[in-house]
Amino acid sequence: MPRRPTPSSTGTTAPRNRTPQPVTIRRRSFGDFVKAFLAFVALAVLLVGVPLALATQIGWPLPDGVPSLDWLQQEITVHTFLNILTVVVWLAWAQFTACVLIEMKAALSGVGVPGRVPGAGPSQLLARQLVAALLLVGATAASFTPGLSQLGQSYDGNQKPTVAAAQATPGLFTQQQERAAGAAAALAEQASQVAAHADAGGSTARQGDTKYYRIQPPEGRHHDSLWEIAQRHLGDGRRYKEIFELNKDRAQPDGSRLSEASLIRPGWIMEMPGDARGGELVEMPAPEVSPDVQQQIADYAQTGDHAQGGGGAGAQGGGAAGGHEQAGGGATQVSVPEQRPAHGSGDRQVATGAESDSAFGLPEALLAAPLLAAGLLGALGRRRRQALWQSAFGAVGGRRGMEPPTPSGDAQDVQDALLVGADPEGVRLLDRSLRGLAASLAEESRALPVVYAAWLSNGDLHLQLAQPAGKPPAPWQQGQDQTFWMLARSDGERYEDVDTAAPYPGLVSLGTMDDSRLLLNLEAVPGIVSLSGREADRAAVFASVAAELATNGWSDRMTITLVGFGEDLTPLAPNRIRHLEDVEALVETMEAETRQRRGALGAAGHDSVLTGRTGPAQHTRWAPHLVLLAAQPSAEDAVKLAELAADASRLGIGYLVGTETGDLPGAAWEMEITDRGKLLAPLLGLELDAQVLPAAQQRAVVELFVEADPERESGRPATTPPFLVDISEQGRPAVYARLVGPYEIIGLDTPDGDRSALLHEALALLLLHREGVHPRVLSSALWPRGVTDDVRSALLDRLRDWLGTDPDGTPRLGTDGSGRLTLAQSVVSDLDVLRSLYHEATQGKGVDSRAVRGRLLTDALVLVRGPLLADRPEGRYRWLTHEIVDAQLPLLVADTGLALCAFHMERNRAEKAIEALDAALRTAPADERLWHELLRATHATGDTDRLTARAAGLIARSGARGLPPRTEALLDELLPTWRDAIAAAG
């Protein structure tokens, strides 16, 4: 198992991913060379010495000719036993040699996890340790730790390759020799900058204060980087941008130029800010500089923006390629994709900044997490619908839970934040794009490539592949190099739903860099992902990751195991989330599952879960299992987890482990969360605004899901609608809106101009939420891609003017104490009246008076003219997808029809009952309860032919699915000959 070197095992200290700590670079110790020499001797003995000893001392162990039957009857002598033992030793030597070759190839290529030799567990582990010890003194970081190679580097257009990217992944030894050869020339170049600046007039400081630094060649697994240079010599790694701006686009001694902060090469010269300190810096001029070197200095100084006097300002105010690329010279660097306009993406970005000042009461963490918010909002809606349906079919009479409980306090703020921040369209595009890619590759009989991460940038989707996978299928395009596939938003919008498994369900949002969002594929990481930082900050990241994985829209099946946190997160997705008490239970569970998955893959003949996930052998065993361990594991447990994670990416298992120290064995990628909400991984080149779910918001989210739990509905009394209308003659409203059916408004003039549709939609939203609507919720519903404050304010002013005031001068559109928009009681909808009539008939005056109950139910059913907002224009009212009113209305109408049917059947008025049921079926045609009562009412008429016709209509409506079992049982009871009668008629 490849492991990161520790001070006890290598003699060197690898740089950690914690920027507040100064990074110390140490030379290889004498112990490193001793270990390497001993490893070389051991390999020589095992690979060369063993076969030589066998050949010279024992000779050929197998028979010289074809054995006969007499040979099988001979006595087994000591010589025969030695020959058998020799064959076994030869086989063991061949197996060990294969292990060494595989481990050497993996170490030299730096790609993925080494392949496994069948039955060679201990042998391969020994080979891996010997190879690692031998190559440690010369290997690069990329040789041992696969990473996010130049993820999301900027590009011109869609397919312009980056020259420096091709130079950033050198061979193991050749590139080091080239770097060493260029070091001497670069050292002379270092001394040159001041003279050149004096001649060109472009120095950023006084001549005697100008300092220079030469990029150092790699040391073991460490690469020099601008981040670490700034950390050592400027005291803050984030000041790497100043170094970048001072040297950007200036010709280096080897003829190349610095264009990306993450792409630097040994031997290059970096001019440093005037306050740089440290013994490795060179201050010039020096008297020994030759005229030739001075000329080279002059040539170098004339390149770059500083030669025109702009270097100083740019160094202090600018950022590298958008201001967030991280430094590093290895192949595990990440930079954000170049920002370019995308269809329909600009408005939402404007809205984010424009509305930030008015986000009173709304949690910013959820506003900045559109994919997480969309997943939570979708799961909450499904949970509420499930509770509603369970309540509906549990009791025909008094309704239990017709209205879901109205949240308050933090839960209400969180619900509003979900409504504002959610980007369901983005989730839909991501899901369809990934499934479409899988379907296209399957049609071409190509395997799914391993994807380490994805960027969402202005609607475009960028996939970072673990290794080149050829030309992507249309409409995907190749990105800046062969390890990037890109899909433009306009192309992704043309994808339709396809019947294929989700190819990359382990993708999860980590944070944003400018306007780009990073999703890491946890199940594809070649090892453990570690997260360090304060406990509360780590917990917020873990909660965000767990919540998004549990509710995201681009996964089909998933198991999320939480250890050390998250017992209360289970209500988010009881079928996905499980909680284990401690690390010991986790290790036991994962050892068993790892064995099972290995066996299943071998039996199916697949190399990894990717080859079986979307092919004909789809099975739940290919679903991802993501482990989130927030507790710090012990040293022994950490080693066990590292062993399990070594082959986890092939098996579809991912590990995210929290650590207090940042030193975790087997950690392929290391990250840190700061107290300012930054997610840092300097050696990966990451500096993100972290996506988090703080403890208070986590509790509020869980409260929303717990309140919507269907199991909690059974013991609750019938609920009261949030707004009851005065249904007497004196309660005539000033403004009456008909929402159940075609949208009509009585009492207001139709607004003129293009704003009429927006005003109608805004009023409909307010009518469906009598408890109040946050202004940001209203604006996000009307303008899903965002809008500025002045546009929203102008619409609210028009809405107030349109609604007018009551006779006492009170505005019909007001605000409550929390700033939410509310309507006056004089503004009423037919849905409000329908709810009030049903409530009064079943829980009010109608309970004690049969005549009042019948009149109220009849009046209620007359209001039903069709589905909610039946004639709404296409493309508008998309916020209804987040509501449950589309499920509430059919159930309310069905309950009203059933109650009126029962009222008439008490007096044996079957025709009246049938009339009521037919009216209810026009709005709730799928409600099985209505059909059952219709069959009973028709049976009560005594007309067998009519009952047979009803049964035939039900069969035709059911289609290939056939009649539900309860419906068949009811027909058998009411009309035993219905099957023969329908067969004869048809």
pLDDT tens string 335-352:
445 544 433 333 343 333
Task: Give the model's pLDDT for residue 738.
Answer: 93
- At 84-100, the pLDDT tens digits run 788 888 888 888 888 88
Question: Strands 653-658, 735-738: parallel, antiparallel or unpaired by DSSP?
Answer: unpaired
Task: Give rounded-to-5 percent helix, strand, coil for the chain.
Answer: 50, 10, 40
Q: At 394, which helix (H) or strand (E)?
A: helix 370-394
What 3-state class would DSSP assign to 913? helix
pLDDT reading at 747 higher than 80: yes
Q: Are 898 and 396 in contact (CB under 8 A)?
A: yes
**CA-based angle 284:290:292, to the nearest 5?**
110
- pLDDT of residue 617 exceeding 80: no
The pLDDT value given to residue 934: 92
Quick check: 136 pLDDT over 70? no
Pair 328, 240: CB distance under 8 Å:
no
Tokens of 25: 């670079």
Query: Would the pTM of this model clear 0.85, i.e. be above it?
Result: no
55 secondary structure, DSSP code? I
Evaluate if residue 373 carries a pLDDT over 90. Answer: yes
Q: For the chain, what is the mean pLDDT?
A: 75
Separation of alpha carbons 336 and 508, rounded Å: 17
Least confident range of 609-613, 704-708, 743-747: 609-613
- Give the contacts of 876 (CB within 8 A, at least 6 positions apart): 757, 761
- The mean pLDDT value for 775-779 works out to 91
342-365 exposure pattern, b = at least 16 Cβ within 10 A, e = fewer: beebeebeebeebbeeebeebbeb
Using 50, 70 and 90 to split pLDDT, how confident is the model at 826?
very high
Q: Which of residues 609 and 966 earns the better pLDDT score?
A: 966
Q: Which amino acid is at 823?
A: L
| Lowest-pLDDT range of 1-5, 282-286, 582-586 | 1-5
Whether the predicted pLDDT of 372 surpasses 80 = yes
| 800 pLDDT higher than 90 | yes
In this predicted structure, what is the pLDDT of residue 725?
A: 86
The sheet carrying 827-829 orders its strands as 744-746, 735-738, 827-829
Q: Residue 598: which of 126, 123, 121, 128 has the closest Cα?
A: 121
Strand order in the sheet with 282-283: 269-272, 211-214, 282-283
Q: Of the given ranges (136-140, 161-165, 392-396, 721-725), which has the lowest mean pLDDT?
A: 161-165
Cα–Cα distance measured from residue 278 to residue 339, given in angstroms and rounded to the nearest whole number: 37
Task: Using the structure block, give the residue that is written with the tokens 């068949």.
Answer: 968
Q: Which pLDDT score, from 0 to 100, does residue 41 have?
A: 84
| Nearest in space to 363 (alpha carbons), one of 782, 698, 793 | 698
Q: Which of 187-191, 291-295, 315-319, 356-360 reaches the highest mean pLDDT?
A: 291-295
| Residue 896 · residue 839 · CB < 8 Å | no
Going by pLDDT thresholds of 50, 70 and 90, the confidence category of residue 818 is: confident
The answer to whether residues 564 and 535 touch, using CB atoms and an 8 Å cutoff, is: no
Share of the chain above pLDDT 70, in %: 73
Beta strands 516-521 and 735-738 are unpaired
Helices 885-905/850-862 angle, 10° precision: 140
d(CA 203, CA 206): 7
213 pLDDT band (50/70/90 cuts)? confident
**Angle at the Cα of 595 (from 592 to 601), degrees rounded to 5?**
140
Q: What is the pLDDT of residue 218?
A: 65
Eight-state DSSP code of residue 209: G
AA identity, residue 964? P
